[in-house]
Amino acid sequence: MSEAAFFIDYSRCIGCEACVNACAECDTHRGTSMIHLETIDRRDSVQTAPQICMHCEDPICAQVCPADAIKKTPDGVVQSSLKPRCIGCSNCVLSCPFGVPKYMSGIDQMMKCDMCYDRSSVGKKPMCATVCPSGALTYTSMEEIQRTRQGIPVNSWKFGAEEVKTKVYVMVPREVTRVEIGLVQIHSTPSALPNDPYDVALMLEGME
Amino acid sequence: MAKLPVETPELVRVFGPTLHRVPGGGWTRTTEDEKLVKTHCCFCGQQCGIQLRVQDNKVVGFEPWEDFPFNRGKLCPKGVKRYMQDEHPDRLKHPLQRVEGVGFEAISWDFAMQRVVGEIQRIQAAYGKDAFAVLTGASLTNEKAYLMGKFARVALQTANIDYNGRLCMVSAGAASKKIFGMDRSANPWSDIPKAKVILAAGANIAECAPITTDYIWQARENGAKLIILDPRMTPIARNADLFIPVRPGGDIGVFNGMLHILIERGWIDRKFIDEHTTGFDQLAESVKKYTPEYSSKIAGVPSEMIVKAAELWGPAPTSFLMHARGIEHHTKGVDNCMAAINLVIATGRIGREGCGYAMITGQGNGQGGREQGQKCDQLPGSRDISNPEHRKYIAGVWGVTEESIPQKGLSAIPLVEAIHAGKIKGLISICFNPMISLPDANFVREALEKLEFFTCIDFFLSETARYADIVLAGSLMEEDEGTTTNVEGRVIRHRKAVTPPAEAREDWKIICEIAGRLGYAEKFNYVSPKEMFEELRVASKGGVSDYYGMTWERLDETNGLFWPCPELGHPGTPRLYENGKFGHPDGKAHFIPVEWRPSDEMPDEEYPVILTTGRVVSQFLSGTQTRRIGALVDQASQPFCEIHPRLAEKYGISDGDFVKVESRRGNVVVHAKVVKTIRPDTVFVPYHWPLDRSANNCTNRAIDPVSNIPEFKICAVRLSKVDQPTDAIAMLEVQAGGVR
């Protein structure tokens, strides 16, 4: 069995926030969660998505850090800012394409998901992926994920013209090789999308 | 007396609910001298394995228990944060006495016991034995559930004991008994991923049984189709192959309509029906009229959905049907469940790998809590209190005469009605918060206020305990040991992590002392819950839920055993009904035809909208525990009214507005949450909150004639946009019933 990797399957997420709560319970986090749950648009859907750090191979947060405070471990985990170096400028917060780093004003420092490095560096699973009751967050081997899932893992992203490779994988349909994220003007392109797929009233049309 | 001694805000100031955010002793790193106690979550029927981190008799955190087979380390947010109950500032640490105009003051155990025993004796002498009632709960361990049943029948000799499982599993249980001849989920959860079609009805699995989600998603990875019935698009429904947004109370339309098509298209198992069932011809006759068109009118969904459900369910090689409170909380709750179960039996897909049926238990010991004799009509081992043979056996175990065991008493709702009518004068309750969990909350409050004496065993001063004359400080789950029976019928061990704080006592010690002072010391001289389990084993022997072959040592070795387990060498029974052998004396499953009928209160011109109630993922039941945990309250800080934009528009309601949801019985004022994911004829309010934020101010006391479950899932309401309330209750913290 190869070494464990982190896989996110947004289609499995049920929005329970077990991940967010468990993150705060990791030995080094002392009650502060380093991850968050995105509620996509509650009016239209119950879709939610957990957002952990994706641990980019070439982390933009570290590139833009003027204080050189963000370091990557040899095994590819991007760490929180180093306390003696971080100047609290929030460049990293603004630059991350996934919206991960958080500036914490109380300690004037950027903190972020470190994949529970105290756990994952000694062979344990990160807290969030251990407790996740839906399997939306899973920490397992590549063989195991391929054996048990219909979708496939990818770790290649394109944001506009920017290509990003991440340590964390996301599960996508088999035909997809890269997650392409273009610019969408909010509320302007309804024709490109199915019309309100989760509107219960539309499902019942023709009843009355 | 049973009236509030002082105004609610003063009680809240002293006893909470207040929010606990930091573990006892502060945030500490895992150290080598700390103890990891393998036990289970105190909340829902999934009973997830969890390890509690213990330092200096304090629970300081948790560590996932990945080796426990049911949840393999997985937890929901409630499980993650449950340990925050320990070292909680609101924890009751002494017995309390009500003092008019003051509140509650700490008293000695001796004084508390004298009061309680004196009042029991006074009331029973003046009004008869049955005038003192017992209300219990399905979050109690098997040992405590057994003890409460014996306490009522032997020490109090009252017929009137019932439990809050009456609000939970009784419809499912009654339906299973009628058709299968047994009351238990038929399969271990490991059968779910092997099914090729799954039908989940009235089950918000993602929020109420989150751990089951992974089992369902795994089935889908293996190619299963998923059918969901719910008036709301729940997180599970979002990715279902077929989501049927059924009208509350319309489920029979879908089930009978499906069966109609299954028969018409030959998707039934004739051989299985002939060999292992009775009553199919009457059933087939009864669904003849349930054409897709007729069924569609009852279900309130397009007929194509019912046809598609039949097409997915009918030809599948394996299947799993599961349901929960959504179809059970009805005046036809038992019928709803039976109509669903008929689909399982007609296709013969039961009792083998990947073929099954389950009711998703709500409370921690939702299964075991309904087997050990704390129901009004039941003796241990799921025995029938009106069956002379059953009475005789239990009389033998207890060492009492058969005649001394009372007959069937009142179930929870009629019991509260009898209090209201002045027929029951005294009450002892444990593990039950009727001020929040029973329907028609104003009526419940009036009833409590009429009691001459009310004593309550609790670890926090719940909204109900505020009405008590004497509050007896009991124990949290992790402060005692015992067993529970999880959603699968697996009996598991809860292990003691810490001792109760200060003068608080283990619940069973409190009950045993009351029994002793009433003159029954020799029948209640247990030295440990283990000793109670040894007696429970014998009491259950030969019953339907037979635990005789289980010992705590065996449970420890096996990670739990499934009943029936009749002999010490018996491996337990994870899957019921193998080889078509059912629980009835004839060994067959009994089909029962079901005819749809309207709910007790249907919408009309005056109250035109349907209210349905339910839960959110971060809160549990009446919230006595979860409304005291900071992170869980942050996640869902106050109740809300889910309303479709089309309905909201009719009333000029926008997202976030305050809306008054009002029935003939009462109202609740909450924020509107305008969402397209609910039927436009229905609104939803979760019920975990108290006072003016209680959805149960509106709900209906009408009960199912067989199971006596109340009709929580449908009542008629009207809606109006209102200003933000600013009264004293509204100004309380949100966890206490305030609004922001």
Residue-wise pLDDT for B153-208, tens only, equals: 999 999 999 999 999 999 999 999 999 999 999 999 999 999 999 999 999 999 99
What distances in angstroms separate CA A184 from CA A159, A193, A199, one per listed residue? 12, 11, 22
Sketch the domain layout of chain A as residue ranges. Answer: 10-145
CA distance B696 to B436: 7
- Closest CB to A17: pick one of B62, B635, B677: B635
- pLDDT of A161 reads 87
CB contact under 8 A, B210 and A134: yes
Average pLDDT of every residue of chain A: 92
Give the residue from chain B lying closest to A136, CA to CA: B214
DSSP state at residue A54: -
Query: How confident is the model over B46-105, as pLDDT tens digits?
Result: 999 999 999 999 999 999 999 999 999 999 999 999 999 999 999 999 999 999 999 999
- pLDDT of A1 reads 44
CB contact under 8 A, B617 and A25: no
Give the residue from chain B lying closest to A15, CA to CA: B235
* B646 neighbourhood in chain A, CB within 8 Å: 201
What distances in angstroms separate CA B519 from CA A78, B221, B400, B405, B512, one per listed residue? 68, 61, 14, 16, 11
The fraction of chain B above a pLDDT of 70, given in percent, is 100
Task: List CB contacts of B266: < 8 A, sequence separation 6 or more.
Answer: none
Percent helix, strand, coil in chain A, to 5, is: 20, 25, 55
- Closest CB to A200: pick one of B22, B81, B678: B678
- pLDDT of A3 reads 86
| Nearest CA distance, A102 vs chain B (angstrom) | 19
Q: Which of B208, B217, B222, B612 to mutate to test the interface with A (most CBs of A within 10 A)?
A: B217
B673 touching A (Cβ < 8 Å):
yes
- pLDDT of A22 reads 97
A30 touching B (Cβ < 8 Å):
yes
Query: How confident is the model over B245-276, as pLDDT tens digits?
Result: 999 999 999 999 999 999 999 999 999 999 99
DSSP state at residue B383: E
Confidence label for A187 from pLDDT (cuts 50, 70 and 90): low
* A25 neighbourhood in chain B, CB within 8 Å: 61-62, 80
Residues 60-119 (B) with a CB less than 8 A from some CB of A: 61-62, 64, 66, 71, 73-77, 79-81
* A129 neighbourhood in chain B, CB within 8 Å: none
CB contact under 8 A, B300 and A150: no
A208 touching B (Cβ < 8 Å):
no
Q: Is there a contact between A116 and A4 (Cβ–Cβ < 8 Å)?
A: no
- pLDDT of B32 reads 81
- pLDDT of A185 reads 63
CB contact under 8 A, A206 and B302: yes
- Closest CB to B235: pick one of A14, A125, A149: A14
Its pTM stands at: 0.97
Class of domain A10-145: alpha beta
Confidence label for A189 from pLDDT (cuts 50, 70 and 90): low
- Closest CB to A44: pick one of B207, B211, B676: B676
CA distance B621 to B634: 17
* B30 neighbourhood in chain A, CB within 8 Å: 27
The stretches of B134-279 forming alpha helices (DSSP H) are 142-150, 170-179, 205-208, 212-221, 251-264, 270-276
Confidence label for B24 from pLDDT (cuts 50, 70 and 90): confident
Per-residue pLDDT at B714 exceeds 90:
yes
